Structure 1
Amino acid sequence: MYVRFQSPSPNARGVHPGVFGLVNDLAKRDRLSPEEERFKTETHAWYHANLIDPSNVDPDIYNRERNPGATAWFKLTAGHLIDRVSGYLEILATHEVACVRVEMADPGNVIYEDAHQVIIVPYRTG
């Protein structure tokens, strides 16, 4: 079973941005308070220290042509990583940015896996 925190609506590319991307977008638009920016910076650093970046393993993992719609999902067993998402959700709620928790046993084709996460390409529909 896997879990992902994402926008309920797809973006222009048809992808549901994840919680980190949604907060990063607020930061790029200078909408974060100094406290929120500090939280983002410190917590991003914590994730980088405690979670493998799949792009370091395969630089093309998120290549749109090779892996269209590729997204990262936490394994439900990665509670220590999932728990820290709550601070990001608080930031999004403050800025009225919708974000939903999605749990699925089989969200798509797994193209990367480690102890805490998978990268999947969603199954094609239609």
Structure 2
Amino acid sequence: MGMTDSDSETTQYIRFQSPHRNTRGHFTGVFGLINTLAREGRLTDEQESFRRVNNSWYDAAYTDPSTVDPTVYDHEINPGAAAWFKPSAAHLIARVPGYLEVLAAHGVDCRMMRSVDPGRVIYEDDVQVVAVPYA
């Protein structure tokens, strides 16, 4: 029995999301929250610059699951699908506090969630899983 067998049982996935359900009944993640503020024109120049630079960094640093599987976030096929960081994604998680500061400045709640079983995994790579929550 290798270590990986017992490790997989206790892997804690991490997600940053709104504590409030959106209009679809799901919890918007940290990137969706800041992108919404940007779309609504609510970010200061400095905040928008931070968002662009860091979103670009994230785009380069890891795979957008929807580029691998276009249906991954399809609301009909995978309702409520959400991405969770693996513990191996510490370098990705390290940049999240800057996003949380921008959200806090606008009174937008965002919480860190931990789960050993975030749902039915429909996508996985070295730093993340996308899971559909159990009904």
1:8 alignment counterpart:
19
- 1:81 is paired with a residue whose SS is helix
**Are positions 1:73 and 2:87 aligned together?**
no
Counterpart mapping for 1:78-93 below 5 A: 78-93=89-104
- 1:44 is paired with a residue whose SS is helix
Report the identity percentage: 56
**Greater than 4 Å deviation, 4+ residue runs:** none
TM-score by length of 2: 0.90
The residue identity in structure 1 corresponding to 2:56 is A
Consecutive unaligned residues in structure 2, runs of 5 or more: 1-11
More helix by share: 2
RMSD of equivalent CA atoms = 0.6
What is the aligned residue count? 124
TM-score by length of 1: 0.97
Distance 1:101 1:54 in 2: 21
Consecutive unaligned residues in structure 1, runs of 5 or more: none
Counterpart mapping for 1:106-125 below 5 A: 106-124=117-135
Distance 1:121 1:35 in 2: 35
Larger Rg: 2
